[in-house]
Amino acid sequence: MKQKAVIFDMDGVICHTNPFHSKAFRIFFEKRGLKPTDEEFAQHMFGKSNRYIFNHFFNTEVSDEELLSLENEKEGLFREIYAEEVEPIAKFMEWLSALKSGGFKTGVATSAPRANLDLIMGKLGFESDMESILASEDVIMHKPDPEVYLKSAANLGVEPEQCLVFEDSFSGVSAGINAGMKVVGVLSSHSESELPPCHFYIQDYREIDLNMVNELWA
C-alpha cells in the first residue's frame, strides 16, 4: 500500500482567520483612504497572495521592496488582532490526531507569511505533527500555481496522486487540482458553488472520518 498524505491550507482550513484578516485589511486600507466592500474582500482577498491583493486594491504593480513593507505592516496588524483569538475550526485537532493514528503523513501549505503560521502553530501546538511546513516565503509561485503542493509532496516523500488537500478558496482548490491531488473543500469562506469541483465538502471536521478518506483511493 502506497504511503498517503494529507496537506492542509491554514487560513479558513485550520482556523477561521478571514474575519480577522478582513479587520486588519480594513484598518490598513482606511489609513490610505480606501474602503473595500465585503464583496470585494470575498472576491479579491480570501485565498489570494498579498501581492495580488495590494496590486488589485492599489490598482498598480507594487515593487518587491514595497510589497515587503506593506506586507509587514498589514500582517503585523493581523497578528496583533488575532493573537488572543486563535481557535481551530471545530474538531481540527482531533481530526489531525486521527490522521496520525491512521498512518497518514501530514503537512501544512499556506500562502500566508511564516510568522502567521508560527503564531497559530504556537497557540495550537500542532507543529510536531507536520512533516512538511511551507509558507509564502518557501515558494516562488503562489496558488493557484501548484508549486506549494508539489513541494509539500516532495517534502513528505509521497506521490502527488497519493495526497489529499484541504482548501477553502478558489485559488487554493485550483492549486490542489493543478498538483494532481484529491481535494476536500472546507466551506468556511465560500459556498460549494463558488469553488471548483472537489471530491467532497465539509463545513468542519465533525463531518469527515478516516473511512471517507480511505474510500477516495479505493
Q: Domain of 95: which CATH number?
A: 3.40.50.1000
Examine the domain organization and report whether 159 and 205 are in the same domain: yes
Q: How far is the C-alpha of 105 from the C-alpha of 5, rounded, in Å?
A: 4
Examine the domain organization and report whether 107 and 209 are in the same domain: yes
- pLDDT exceeds cutoff 90 at 20: yes
Q: What strand order describes the sheet that includes 163-167?
A: 132-134, 105-109, 5-8, 163-167, 182-186, 200-202
Examine the domain organization and report whether 143 and 201 are in the same domain: yes
- CATH of residue 60's domain is 1.10.150.240
Mean pLDDT (whole number) for 31-52: 85
* pLDDT at site 22: 87
Q: How far is the C-alpha of 53 from the C-alpha of 34, rounded, in Å?
A: 13
What lies within 8 Å, CB to CB, of 76 at 6+ separation is: none
The pTM is what?
0.91
SS3 106: strand
Helices (H), 84-160: 92-101, 114-124, 147-156
The residue among 67, 82, 97 that closes a domain is 82
